[in-house]
Amino acid sequence: MKIESIKIENFKVFADAKIDNLPKMCVFLGANGSGKTTFFEVFGFLSDALKNNVSSAINRRGGYNEVVSRNKGGNIEFEIKFRNTEEDGSLSPLITYLVEIGRKQKKIVIIKELLKYRRGNRGQPWHFLNFSEGKGSAIKNEEDYGKEGATEEREEQELDSPDILAIKGLGQFQKFKAISSFRKLLEGWYVSNFQITSAQTVMDTGVSEHLSKSGNNLAQVTKFMHDAYPDVFSEVLDKLKEKIPGIESVKSVETEDGRIILKFQDGSFKDPFIARYVSDGTIKMFAYLIMLHDPNPHPLLAIEEPENYLHPDLLIELAEELRIYSKRGGQVFISTHSPEFVNALKIEELFWVNKNEGYSQIHRAEDDELINSLYKEGDLLGYLWQQKYLKGSGPRD
């Protein structure tokens, strides 16, 4: 699936923010404290709410007064528009998911939760899910959508509590395809905040199919990829050799006490190096290649500051690897402070976040006439950022 637009109201620093026409790869710039991390947290919040309930997600973040935008009236609201990929490769009609969260009698409740299709430019949208305070209805005949003369057939449902997302239960049923797809996005979304020290840790024996947020299971994932997907693993090694001259092979080795370590073979040395003796940049590039060649890509991958520990020359190649990943099926959101990484971007991929009078807005670089003109004349986006054309985004603000 592909997210087309996101609207945020009264969620922390985003009192009223919206971005449209999101590409498969989106890169967000912003000075420290501008709201980049909070933007990523929208999906973490909804994912937590899905796993438990909205009250739990809010309490984990310090309570309602810490989550709702300060000095603003109104409820917390998220609106996400997306399209699914159909079996024939075409995109579905635009699907809108909206959830509004507020308080009644000091209790947190879901004021409104909708999931609907837009029926072209005419006709009324089909409401596949329509709930308020724990009660509502879901469509029964989703397969009839788009058929001439078809009308909605609905069934009433009631949840156990008014702070439970309706997509949590109904999304388990394959007959509710639109609801199920959005639930899978929230369950499968992934944020990477790779830590070198974690990746160098010697872990106990085990199997991991996906890289963890910190990368502390890199050795286990390496072993899984080597054993289950040897062709994919071979492709990862080939790319690593191209990007890091001298590296010939990478192996995950099980020690006598049942732990797993990574060994890198340098062509100049007879014996391989254990991961903790290999350069930080080599470890990180290998980890990213493993993650980006996951046979089951995450529907939404978020990466915070991928430039850390990497040589500037590698950032251009990393940007292209991320772009390839996004085309393969997983949408990518990235935050960065690196002008070199930004130089590798297309203008439609770049956004910036700035804060004004305590609240944040998100801007599209392509929508700025001056930036668009300079980019078309050959100026690199990272250079324009350094020269403060992207106002309020840093690095010189």
The pLDDT of residue 328 is 83
For residue 11, which of 32, 37, 39, 36 has the smallest C-alpha distance? 39
| One CATH from 3.40.50, 1.10.4030, 3.30.710, 3.30.1490 for 2-24+34-189 | 3.40.50
Residue 19 phi/psi, 5-degree rounding, is -135, 140
Whole-number pLDDT of residue 231 = 92
Residue 11: the pLDDT is 95
pLDDT at 318: 92
pLDDT recorded at residue 120: 54
Report pLDDT for 348: 96
- Residues near 127 by Cβ (< 8 Å), separated by ≥ 6? 114, 115, 116, 139, 152
Q: What pLDDT, on a 0 to 100 scale, did the predictor assign at position 388?
A: 86
pTM of this structure:
0.84
CA distances for 158 relative to 161, 163, 167, 171, angstroms: 8, 12, 12, 14
Confidence of residue 12 (pLDDT cuts 50, 70, 90): very high
| Predicted local confidence at residue 103, as pLDDT | 92
Mean pLDDT of 41-56: 90
Quote the mean pLDDT of the chain.
Answer: 83
Question: How many of the other CB atoms lie within 10 Å of CB of 289?
Answer: 20
DSSP conformation letters of 371-388: HHHHHHTT--HHHHHHTT
The yes-or-no verdict on residue 302 having pLDDT over 80 is yes
Most confident among 132-141, 198-207, 330-339 (mean pLDDT): 330-339
Q: What is the pLDDT of residue 263?
A: 76
pLDDT for res 255: 72
Of 10-24, 182-196, 229-243, least confident by mean pLDDT is 182-196
The mean pLDDT value for 363-385 works out to: 93
> Mean pLDDT, to the nearest integer, of 60-69?
92
pLDDT of residue 64: 92
Asked if residue 122 has pLDDT above 60, the reply is no
Region 57-81: what's the mean pLDDT?
91
Query: How many whole angstroms separate alpha carbon 102 and alpha carbon 168?
Result: 19
The residue count of the chain comes to 397
| Residue 238: per-residue pLDDT | 85
At 205-223, the pLDDT tens digits run 667 888 888 888 888 888 8
List the structure tokens of 115: 């999931």
The pLDDT of residue 194 is 75
Return residue ranges of the chain for CATH 3.40.50.300: 191-345
What would the mean pLDDT of 21-40 be, rounded to a whole number? Answer: 89
Amino acid at 188: G
User: Higher model confidence: residue 320 or residue 240?
Assistant: 320
Of 293 and 122, the structure prediction assigns the larger pLDDT to 293
pLDDT > 90 in the chain, percent:
34
- Judged against a pLDDT cut of 60, whether residue 269 lies above it is answered with no
- pLDDT > 70? residue 80: yes
Q: pLDDT tens for residues 127-150?
A: 788 899 999 988 776 665 656 656
Quote the CA–CA distance of 335 and 37 in Å, as a whole number. 8
Which pLDDT tens digit goes with each residue over 163-175? 999 887 765 555 5
The Cα-based distances of 152 to 43, 122, 141, 142, 183 in angstroms read 30, 16, 7, 8, 22
User: Is the per-residue pLDDT at 187 higher than 80?
Assistant: no
Mean pLDDT of 364-380: 93
**What CATH class does 191-345 carry?**
alpha beta
Range of lowest pLDDT (64-68, 71-75, 250-254): 250-254
What pLDDT does residue 67 have? 93
